[in-house]
Amino acid sequence: MNKQETYEHLRSRGIEFEICEHPAVYTMEEVARIELPHPEAEAKNLFVRGHKKLHYYLISVKGDKRVDLKEIRDEFGLRSLSFATPEELMEIMGLIPGSVSPLGLLNDAELKVTFFLDSEFGDDDLIGVHPNENTASIYLRTSDLLSVIREHGNQIRRLDL
């Protein structure tokens, strides 16, 4: 799904969201330099793979957090974790680097990706993510985001970092 298809998908499910169009951003440092309506809700998203490229994970945390892949690996009993390649990102989630988003899971036709979400995003909190393109951010309730992902069929795990 591209940006417009993502908006339509959310609207068709009655999900309320706020759109903020902006120049393309590729890093959290670039995100910090633009004026966004809810900076405290911004999510940092990492697409990683497990041992022998058999398992893939999307990790979404509060934008100002540092992520220790070793800590996540140990907490969930995983073997090694490393960043997936841009080619894997495109093949599995239909995204380019800088556009990584939990909404990209809607493009994961084979349900290869497990979603790890920072528990600091409470169900009634807003979460800010890209709508599968890095030229906009959308803000929706965390519970609505999780509902869309569950409906699609990806596994969801909560992280306590």
Q: Is residue 117 within 8 Å of 102, Cβ to Cβ?
A: yes
Query: pLDDT by residue (tens digit) across 62-119?
Result: 998 999 999 999 988 888 899 999 999 999 999 999 999 999 999 999 999 999 999 9
Per-residue pLDDT at 141: 98
Map tokens 């807003």 to a residue.
126
**What dotted CATH number matches 3-159?**
3.90.960.10
- Exposure on the CB side of residue 65, measured as CA atoms within 13 A: 22
- Boundaries of every domain in the chain: 3-159
Give the whole-angstrom CA distance, residue 84 versus residue 57.
Answer: 9
pLDDT tops 90 at residue 52: no
Per-residue pLDDT at 161: 78
pLDDT tops 90 at residue 21: yes
Reported as a pLDDT band with limits 50, 70 and 90, residue 53 is confident
Give the whole-angstrom CA distance, residue 8 versus residue 98.
Answer: 22
Per-residue pLDDT at 119: 96
Q: Kind of pairing, strands 56-62 and 82-83?
A: unpaired
pLDDT tops 90 at residue 27: no
Short-list 35, 44, 30, 143, CA closest to 101: 44
Map tokens 């990706």 to a residue.
113
Burial class from Cβ neighbours inside 10 Å (0-12, 13-18, 19+) for residue 127 reads: buried
Query: pLDDT by residue (tens digit) across 114-153?
Result: 999 999 999 999 999 999 999 999 999 999 999 999 999 9
